[in-house]
Amino acid sequence: MDAPTTTSAGNGTSGDSDGGGWFTPRTQPPSSGGDQEPEGNRLAAMRPVRRSQELHSGPEQERNGSPRERIPAFDAPPAAAAPRPAAVPPPVAAPHPQQGEARDPQGPEDSVFETGAPVQPAARTPEASPDAVLIRRTMAEIGPVADKVTSYFYALLFVQHPELRSLFPAAMDTQRDRLLKALLTAAEHIDNAPVLVDYLQNLGRGHRKYGTQAEHYPAVGECLIGALSRYADGIWDDETEAAWVRAYTTISQVMIDAAAADELHSPPWWLAEIVSHELRTAEIAVVTVRPNQPYPFLAGQYTSLETPWWPRIWRHYSFASAPRSDGLLSFHVKAIPAGWVSNALVHRARPGDVIRLGPPAGTMTVDHSTDSGLLCLGGGTGIAPIKAMIEDVSERGVRRPVEVFYGARTDHDLYDIDTLLRLKQSNPWLEVRPVVDRDGLLQLPDAIRQYGPWHEYDAYISGPPGMIRSGVNALKGVGVPLRRIRHDSVEELVAAGD
């Protein structure tokens, strides 16, 4: 994200922060009737409500893979909210984990902003709702100037609401904040309720660690509309604005509800002391930490992590072990050029240093409701969550075939092969096949074609974005259905880049 260099908001769209500003329609709205609600209501629609648990009809939201409660944001919008567009279906419990399921990375569903918002073509409604049509039209309009929209959005936010500046990293660029991208992508896929709700709940929970409060959402919404209306001015009208207000209201309400539900049983972050730091190669360290309070997670998930040296810069790392009885967590970190957090963790961190952890996330977890085989592709440090999943299967004591292809560019880069071979010795159902590039002649996904058949396996891919993309293609090519392929969001991995 570009640094917010624009400091002037005086473009004719600005206004008083207490009301008639960002939502003042450009043209006079119809005086009554139709779908247009009075401006006061539209403003009210942007005001999220901090809902308490009594509004939730189901059981407490469960993080660790149990069925999730339906957050009623789509069913029961706040009293003052604008009418829900008829075409937005109520949320249904997602049949499969969504975030990690495969989707065609080249598919037409990717946003112009490319975030980790999980979108599945199959789950899309065949006909877009009127609001979705208007929102996508806006996105198409701003696509070519996405960077300017981003800069302007943050400039507006920080000028109009300086009190929010401290929630963001000191240095802002495309790597540092993805809030706007996430919001825009969510809005663009507003019709895809089941997937969207899951994604937004995660986003809402994850934002607790930044100190985000329900009261902050209207400010963000105002600036969102301010930036969009400025750069999509060729198509912007009352209807478009109303569609965005409705979408944003829904989005922010789901996030606020999820954060409020999470608040009841989880801290916004965990402090964790580094208890061991082991350099495996010149660039790769295995870092083990002890959280200051219990940290529930599942093998295959990841967390966000902040070091004391780069405040408010959070990076994702997968857990490299299944949950342990001593509560310790470990991560495999590779220092990459210009990677602030990764370099700090590999070259600077020492036992005794204290880092912060966000909540666990991700759905690339073992499905224990079946005894299907597991086909695992781990590339480089992408082997970390695969190792965690092997331990998870081992601890269950169920014999199911687990076939691991561990890819690296050189023998030397197979930094965790000894651990995997030890696991293989004690678990006869486990097969480990190292795959070394040989100057690009044999890439990891190619190797799986030499074995199989795989169509009855659940497949897990973890590694560099390019490997995940070609892995999905290779798996599809050998007959593994998409619904059986899981991986973390490629866009998140690209965006993390550290």
Ligand X SMILES: NC(=O)C1=CN([C@@H]2O[C@H](COP(=O)(O)OP(=O)(O)OC[C@H]3O[C@@H](n4cnc5c(N)ncnc54)[C@H](O)[C@@H]3O)[C@@H](O)[C@H]2O)C=CC1
The verdict on 382 binding ligand X (CB under 6 A) reads yes
The verdict on 318 binding ligand X (CB under 6 A) reads yes
Q: What single-letter DSSP state applies at residue 395?
A: H
The verdict on 488 binding ligand X (CB under 6 A) reads yes
Radius of gyration from C-alpha coordinates of the chain: 23
Q: Binding mask 251-280 vs ligand X (x if CB under 6 A, - otherwise)?
A: ------------------------------
The verdict on 470 binding ligand X (CB under 6 A) reads yes
Q: Which helix (H) or strand (E) holds 249?
A: helix 238-263
Q: Tokens representing 32?
A: 């009554």
Q: In angstroms, rounded to a whole number, what is the distance separating the alpha carbons of residues 456 and 374? A: 9
The verdict on 118 binding ligand X (CB under 6 A) reads no
Query: Which of 194-223 are b and which e, b meaning 16 or more Cβ less than 10 Å from the residue's Cβ?
Result: bbbbbbbbbbbbbbbbbebebebbbbbbbb
Q: Residue from 4, 91, 226, 385 that binds ligand X (CB under 6 A)?
A: 385
> What are the φ/ψ torsions at residue 234 (nearest 5 degrees)?
-65, -25
Q: Residue from 462, 475, 480, 484 that binds ligand X (CB under 6 A)?
A: 462
Q: Residue from 116, 339, 359, 445 that binds ligand X (CB under 6 A)?
A: 445
Q: What single-letter DSSP state applies at residue 346?
A: I
Q: Is 79 exposed, middle or buried (0-12, 13-18, 19+ CB in 10 A)?
A: exposed
Q: How far is the CB of 236 from ligand X (least distance, A)?
A: 38
Q: Which helix (H) or strand (E) holds 404?
A: strand 402-408
Q: In angstroms, rounded to a whole number, what is the distance separating the alpha carbons of residues 366 and 301? A: 10
The verdict on 194 binding ligand X (CB under 6 A) reads no
Assign 17 to helix, strand or coil: coil
The verdict on 381 binding ligand X (CB under 6 A) reads yes
Q: Tokens representing 336?
A: 């990459």
- Residue with CB nearest ligand X? 380
Q: What single-letter DSSP state applies at residue 190?
A: T
CB neighbourhood size of 419 (10 A): 18
Q: Are 439 and 354 in contact (CB under 8 A)?
A: no
Stretch that binds ligand X, among 36-44, 55-63, 266-274, 487-495 (CB under 6 A): 487-495
Q: Which is nearer to ligand X, 117 or 139 (CB)?
A: 117
Q: Binding mask 297-316 vs ligand X (x if CB under 6 A, - otherwise)?
A: -----x--------------
The verdict on 466 binding ligand X (CB under 6 A) reads yes
The verdict on 380 binding ligand X (CB under 6 A) reads yes
Q: Tokens representing 175?
A: 């790597």
Q: How far is the CB of 61 from ligand X (least distance, A)?
A: 23
The verdict on 409 binding ligand X (CB under 6 A) reads yes
Measuring CA to CA, which residue among 106, 140, 109, 137 is closest to residue 122? Answer: 109
Stretch that binds ligand X, among 138-146, 193-201, 290-298, 461-469 (CB under 6 A): 461-469
Q: Which is nearer to ligand X, 94 or 472 (CB)?
A: 472
Q: Residue from 88, 134, 493, 495 that binds ligand X (CB under 6 A)?
A: 493
The verdict on 379 binding ligand X (CB under 6 A) reads yes
The residues in 325-344 that bind ligand X, with binding defined as CB under 6 A, are 334
Q: Which residues bind ligand X (CB under 6 A)?
A: 302, 318, 334, 379-382, 384-385, 407-409, 413, 437, 443-445, 462-464, 466-467, 470, 487-488, 493
